[in-house]
Chains A and B, each alone.
Chain A
Amino acid sequence: MKKENTLLVGLAMTAAITVVTYAILVAPGFLTDSGMNMTEGVTNSSKAVYDLHMIILWICIVIGILVFAAMFTSIFLHRKSRGAVAAKFTHSTKAEIIWTTIPILILVVMAVPSTITLIELEDNSNPDIIIKITGYQWKWKYDYIDEDISFYSSLKADSNAARLTGANIDPTTVDNYLLDVDNRIVIPIGKKIGFLITADDVIHSWWVPALGWKQDAVPGFINQAWTRVNEVGVYRGQCAELCGRGHGFMPIVLEAKSEEDYAAWLVEQKSALTVTQAETQRIWSKTELMAKGEAVYEQQCAGCHQTDGQGLAPAFPAMAGNPVTNGSISKHIDIVMNGSEGTAMQAFSKTLTDAEIAAALTYTRNAFGNQTGDLIQPATIAKHNNG
């Protein structure tokens, strides 16, 4: 076999494989901003991460094309059916040194920028604002340290209804299906936000791709992370560490506002806090409790106990005719506030306000055919909470 022949076939193979690779990347829009590649994100760090990703990807693509071209050249030329006669060589120290050394050099070239970026990512010093993030099964809690603001963030009700097995609601009709929450975490742009990340029950992982990282939330330990967002906008993410039944259903929505809007938001939150306190103190009418109760039930309880209160045997008991919803009030309060050991019933005392719990209890005791006639006031719950 002639030398030129090998070179020619080699070039042809390289060209062919390059075309195939190009097609694999371009056809799904990978290279054309279709959302099928890693996001560049909205922080300097996320852009650095994206750049690293693209560098290493291109290095792999080039190596891949060369290696596969060599292989297919051989497959084409050195076939018995073309009359190829096997050579006898079994090793070549020179070749082996070359193909050990070149990869080492490539790795060094990659290791340097990777390490530099990593050091920047891990620099948690001097944050302007600190937010504590706590993962729960299956929601997030945000505490703005220094601001006295604290709230839970869970999957939005419309997504939550549509995601039930056999719900028969077309997910494409739901806005931001599975990626929307009731309360967004809000941050100002341009400021260094420090996050303290932990969990209450099992391990979760807080991930907004536009920030360029995810960080595990480990119960009993506090992890640090930070970001500085450049652009106003709403950025969506999800829990990334398997955390049980609701793992696919605890999204994250982060809203980056201008500094003024953020300040306004803070004021609004604080007045809402006063409202919550006022809600706990005043006496509610039955209509008020029933209306609020129905909304809370739909959002928090119907996922298991179902909208019609009939439950889902065997795991989720019916509310209708249930001995707890029709029996002792204090036992009812206890199970809703503290959950039920060994079952899916979680403790709601930490996630719902007193008024919300009072309303939900009143509702379940007077709906689905239950007719206890009991009214439970937020103040009763507050007393239970403190007692």
Chain B
Amino acid sequence: MTTITHEDHHDHKPQGFLNRWVFSTNHKDIGTLYLVFALLMFFIGGAMAMIIRAELFMPGMQLVQPEFFNQMTTVHALVMVFGAVMPAFVGFANWMIPLMIGAPDMALPRMNNWSFWILPFAFTMLVSTLFMDGGAPAGGWTLYPPLVLQTGDSFIFAMFAIHMLGISSIMGAINVIATILNMRAPGMTLLRMPLFVWTWLITAFLLIAVMPVLAGAVTMLITDRFFLTSFFNAAGGGDPVLFQHIFWFFGHPEVYIMILPAFGIISEIIPTFARKPLFGYTSMVYATVSIAFLSFIVWAHHMFTVGMPLGAEIYFMLATMMISIPTGVKVFNWIATMWRGSMTFETPMLFALGFVVLFTIGGFSGLMLAIVPADFQYHDTYFVVAHFHYVLVTGSVFALMAGTYYWLPKWTGHMYNERLGKWHFWLSVVFVNVLFFPQHYLGLAGMPRRIPDYSPQFADFNMLSSIGGFAFGLTQLMFVYIVWKCARGGETATAQVWEGAKGLEWTVPSPAPFHTFETPPKIDDSVVAHGNHM
């Protein structure tokens, strides 16, 4: 193919580490930076989780002080949400969106560089709060006042770090939207775009809508603390619950920010390994849009016990229940995609199937949590902890693992070790359930969340959960090893990589050259997965 030699000819990467990585404006290199950074954060946040599970291994306080325990739960969540899951999805967006829509790069490459390089600084600052006087923030990732205002010297550093993360996310989102709306190759109509691109487009709008809201909430906390305002201080005429409304107006869309791109990845993988087009492509797009819309009008389901008026409780219950309809449509469509396909079960597919089953279990517990009278019991217990770890770990994180195995050959030019990949999946799927399933029972039995010590009646399941946690944590070292090995060498990957894969990214060689689609590809139904089926 002439285009390939042409590209090879131009494939000179910038020389020197500084030029190549620090000043990079190349979407693939920036994508790699995001992914490596996210992986590092995954292990830092994971180490904190290990401390939490070690303290909870047995009743009694064996290892840490309660204050430090609270710092661990708080920083663990902030690091995982803002440092691991979100940047990992941005890494995927950077790598794959231009390749999937036939664009030469992201629309705003310099901003792309900037939005990444904010992150290491923000997280260095956030993690450094652990070593400050009074320790890191310990009021939970939800930052509820008045408690969060009791944070020591680290308060302002943590708040500033969150502001920086917000700026980074907003810039990333602008870039994604600008790229998708302006840089599609001729013929790549909106309804031909791969679902991963669609879900990221919608996610980016969610980000732009809600990150400023978080910034507002954080700014109000700062002025309450330092400039004598009383937004959240009842003694000054404010209301602590106001913060919760603002936070969750950000927070609920935020959880969808962490799952919609995951839906996108899964919707790419299942058709490939079922060798059958995605079932109900348009309804998938509509379901994503409706989930995004609903995510703005259900926020107070996180606050059923704060003392809302009855009418508000009923409304938020019904609105929340409605989310399970488009979510159900997605699950049914994935299964219908498998139905009468010709399936094989390579590692990406295994993680995708694990996702479908375990995310659905998280969806069920979500539906249960929507029932207000029952939530009066479930709220702030380990049942909620189990719920959001099913949707976030076996949901978002499993999708990230699936996506990594799926596109790794495209990124590195080598096949990863399939046998080890399968081991990684099976160990992960077993231990993650040992880790999180018992937490449902703990919550129902009455164990509150965010406590450093508990009554001996909860001992057995906590120990089980901790064992699952340690094993799950160790298993993830395999992931690093497999990815590392694959980057260093291995069986050469073809451009197509997977027999059933369809889409523009599979038309460029593996590894994808430094510059791709400098001249737009020709697009017709033979190269895109979603032709003119309408």
Contacts and interface: CB of A to CB of B under 8 A. Distances in A.
A, B bound: yes
B368 A53 contact: yes
A246 to B, nearest CB: 7
B22 interface: no
B336 interface: yes
A80 B499 CA distance: 12
Interface stretch (B41-49, B411-419, B441-449): B441-449
Contacts of B234: 218-221
A86 B340 contact: yes
Contact of B324 (A80, A103, A244): A103
Interface stretch (B86-94, B183-191, B303-311): B303-311
A229 B341 CA distance: 57
B202 interface: no
A203 B376 contact: no
A177 B450 contact: no
A203 to B, nearest CB: 6
A39 B144 CA distance: 29
B9 interface: no
Interface in B252-289: 274-283
Contacts of B235: 220
A209 B377 contact: yes
A286 to B, nearest CB: 36
Interface string B441-468: 1001110111111111100010000000
Given A221-B307, A242-B70, A68 B377 contact: no
A166 to B, nearest CB: 7
B66 A245 contact: yes
A91 B277 CA distance: 9
B147 A86 contact: no
Nearest to A165: B61
Contact of A74 (B338, B373, B437, B453): B338
Interface string A207-246: 1010011111011110110000000000001111111111
B314 interface: yes
Contact of B310 (A49, A118, A170): A118
Interface residues of B, number: 95
Contacts of B62: 165-166
Interface in B330-367: 331-332, 335-336, 338-345, 353, 356-357, 360-361, 364, 367
B444 A67 contact: no
A223 B275 CA distance: 57
B318 interface: yes
Interface string A179-218: 1000000000000000001000111010101001111101
A162 interface: yes
Contacts of A103: 324-325, 328
A60 B368 CA distance: 8
Contact of B281 (A90, A118, A249): A90
A158 B114 CA distance: 56
A35 B335 contact: no
A78 interface: yes
B139 interface: yes
A283 interface: no
Interface in A132-190: 162-167, 169-172, 176-179
Contact of A79 (B233, B321, B343): B343
Given A79-B342, A243-B147, A110 B278 contact: no
B474 to A, nearest CB: 24
A243 B59 CA distance: 20
B150 A212 contact: no
Contacts of B343: 74-75, 78-80, 84
Contact of A86 (B274, B280, B283, B332): B274
B81 to A, nearest CB: 17
B224 interface: no
A40 to B, nearest CB: 11
Contacts of B139: 242, 244
A94 B336 CA distance: 13
B373 A52 contact: yes
A221 B241 CA distance: 10
Given A79-B342, A79-B343, A214-B376, A114 B317 contact: yes
A172 B305 CA distance: 32
B64 interface: yes
Given A107-B322, A201-B146, A242-B147, A118 B372 contact: yes
A28 interface: yes
A79 B449 CA distance: 43
B381 interface: yes
Given A24-B437, A201-B146, A35 B329 contact: no
A368 to B, nearest CB: 22
B444 A118 contact: no
B368 A84 contact: no
Q: What secondary structure prevails in chain A residues at the interface with B?
A: mixed
Nearest to A169: B60
B313 A238 contact: no
Nearest to A241: B380
B239 interface: yes
B394 to A, nearest CB: 14
B65 A165 contact: yes
Contact of B240 (A30, A74, A218, A248): A218
Interface in A245-288: 245-249
Interface in B60-108: 60-67, 70
A67 B374 contact: no
A212 B371 CA distance: 13
Contacts of B341: 74, 78, 84, 86-87
A205 B305 contact: yes
Contacts of A209: 377, 446
A99 B61 CA distance: 50
Contacts of B368: 53, 56-57, 60
Contacts of A71: 335, 338, 353, 356-357
B451 A238 contact: yes
Interface string B288-320: 000000000000000001110010011001100
A70 B277 contact: no
B6 interface: no
A117 interface: yes
A6 B218 CA distance: 56
Interface string B37-56: 00000000000000000000
Given A100-B329, A103-B325, A247 B451 contact: yes
B307 A111 contact: no
Contacts of B310: 118-119, 122
B533 interface: yes
Given A56-B371, A118-B313, A203 B146 contact: yes
Interface of A: 24, 28, 30, 35-39, 48-49, 52-53, 56-57, 60, 63-64, 67-68, 70-71, 74-75, 78-81, 84-92, 95-96, 99-100, 103-104, 107, 110-111, 114-115, 117-119, 121-122, 162-167, 169-172, 176-179, 197, 201-203, 205, 207, 209, 212-216, 218-221, 223-224, 237-249
Interface of B: 59-67, 70, 138-140, 144, 146-147, 150, 233-235, 239-241, 274-283, 305-307, 310, 313-314, 317-318, 321-322, 324-325, 328-329, 331-332, 335-336, 338-345, 353, 356-357, 360-361, 364, 367-368, 371-374, 376-377, 379-381, 437-438, 441, 444-446, 448-457, 461, 500, 533
10 contacts: A38-B377, A48-B373, A64-B364, A81-B344, A100-B328, A111-B318, A165-B65, A172-B456, A214-B377, A240-B305
Given A214-B305, A244-B150, A249-B453, 19 more contacts: A38-B374, A39-B446, A52-B373, A78-B340, A86-B276, A86-B340, A95-B332, A96-B280, A165-B63, A167-B61, A171-B60, A171-B456, A172-B456, A178-B455, A209-B446, A212-B373, A240-B379, A246-B66, A248-B451
